[in-house]
Amino acid sequence: MVTPRQARERQRQGVLLIDIREPHERVSGQAEGALAVRRAELEAEPARHLPDPAAEVLLICQVGKRSQAAAEALRGAGFARVYSVDGGTSAWSRDGLPLVRPQLEPAEADFLERYSRHLRLPEVGIEGQKRLAGAHVLMVGAGGLGSPAAFYLAAAGLGHLRLVDDDIVDRSNLQRQILHTESSIGTPKVESARERLQALNPSIRVEPVQARVTSENVEALLEGIDVVVDGSDNFPLRYLLNDACVKLGKPLVYGAVQRFEGQVSVFDAGRHRGRKPCYRCLFPEPPPPEFAPSCAEAGVLGVLPGIVGLLQANEAIKLLLGIGEPLAGRLLQFDALAMRFRELRLPADPDCPVCAAGRPFPGYIDYAAFCASS
């Protein structure tokens, strides 16, 4: 190993210094005069970048660990005079040695800096982040659940968010619907949400749709959508979204809250007939109104929709990236007073009228009448 000051002096004498970090790591600055070559590229084709095996070469990363490992690998490949800069770029900066920022297009610089923490995750990386940028999500509801879910999807770099809600902002919303502010009272929720989300991340597209979701428009709203996030607060709309997602093969991220309890799941029966459940497998019939009062009737702890909405955003991102284990086939219940999670297995109903394997779609129904009849 060599210290940053020793590396700077050898660099002045003509020794090659190579920054082996990822592009997003170099956005905040790299050692002046260093050649940028990703570690994987350097180790895969060393002769391409180090034509003289006998020449002295210095490697630098962020804190020195990766450059030390790379130097050992290259010495094992016959490049005997490869050394690591102790402490990496962090130590280089602390010693007051000159840093330069790479010349990038503004959009590329924004992408690499904004999502730098995502890009460091092997499960996401540049390709995963680009996948998020190309994704389309339908968010139904810009209220208690939609607020935190939309905020974090926007922050994560989701490319296109279609936000549907027919309501306007009321003062009673502000206790939990954090997309909206005092100045938003009286304005459409989708417009208030669009303004806040674009302020957070100008690079995403927020498509506000001030409308009630019905059997007549649901398929148009689902067109081009990769994942649906259900932030609704009534049973007719939940059944409608479920049936449309089963018919069109869209994953549905479900969430619900009441008083101090919430629940989350993923219904993906449309893509996994007979293997994953739909919402009707959980609730073949809606519960009687006295057992399922609305939040306006029963009340809700203000932070509870935030917790459940964040879990929904997490599930949506996992589905878009194809990572982890989604909650499909599992119902996650949360008790805010006891601070306790409980998971229930939720099998597919082989006799489900909508998602059973081989069963044709029965058509949309009068969902309000269906729920009122229970």
How far apart CA 121 and CA 167 sit, in angstroms, is: 38
Structural domain includes residue 312: yes
94 in the same domain as 55: yes
Domain boundary among 88, 103, 118: 103
346 in the same domain as 231: yes
288 in the same domain as 234: yes
Statement: the pTM of the whole predicted model exceeds 0.75? yes
312 in the same domain as 191: yes
Domain boundary among 62, 85, 103: 103
Q: Along the 374 residues of the chain, how does pLDDT read in single tens digits?
A: 999 999 999 999 999 999 999 988 888 899 999 999 999 999 999 999 998 999 999 999 999 999 999 999 999 999 999 999 999 999 999 999 999 988 888 888 899 999 999 998 999 999 999 999 999 999 999 999 999 999 999 999 999 999 999 999 999 999 999 999 999 999 999 999 999 999 999 999 999 999 999 999 999 999 999 999 999 989 999 999 999 999 999 999 999 999 999 999 999 999 999 999 999 999 998 876 655 666 667 789 999 999 999 999 999 999 999 999 999 999 999 999 999 999 999 999 999 999 999 999 999 999 998 888 75
How far apart CA 342 and CA 228 sit, in angstroms, is: 24
User: Which residues constitute the domain of residue 39?
Assistant: 4-103
Structural domain includes residue 129: no
164 in the same domain as 61: no
Structural domain includes residue 119: no
Domain boundary among 56, 82, 103: 103
Residue 246 near residue 270 (C-beta atoms within 8 A): yes
Q: Using alpha carbons only, what angle is made at residue 167 by residues 288 and 293, rounded to the nearest 5 degrees?
A: 20
Number of structural domains (the chain) is 2
Q: Using alpha carbons only, what angle is made at residue 120 by residues 87 and 151, rounded to the nearest 5 degrees?
A: 130
Structural domain includes residue 111: no
CATH number at residue 59: 3.40.250.10
Q: pLDDT of 59-84, one tens digit each? A: 999 999 999 999 999 999 999 999 99
Tokens in use for 271?
A: 């893509």
Structural domain includes residue 115: no
CATH number at residue 151: 3.40.50.720
Structural domain includes residue 114: no
Tokens in use for 168?
A: 């306007």
196 in the same domain as 93: no
270 in the same domain as 159: yes
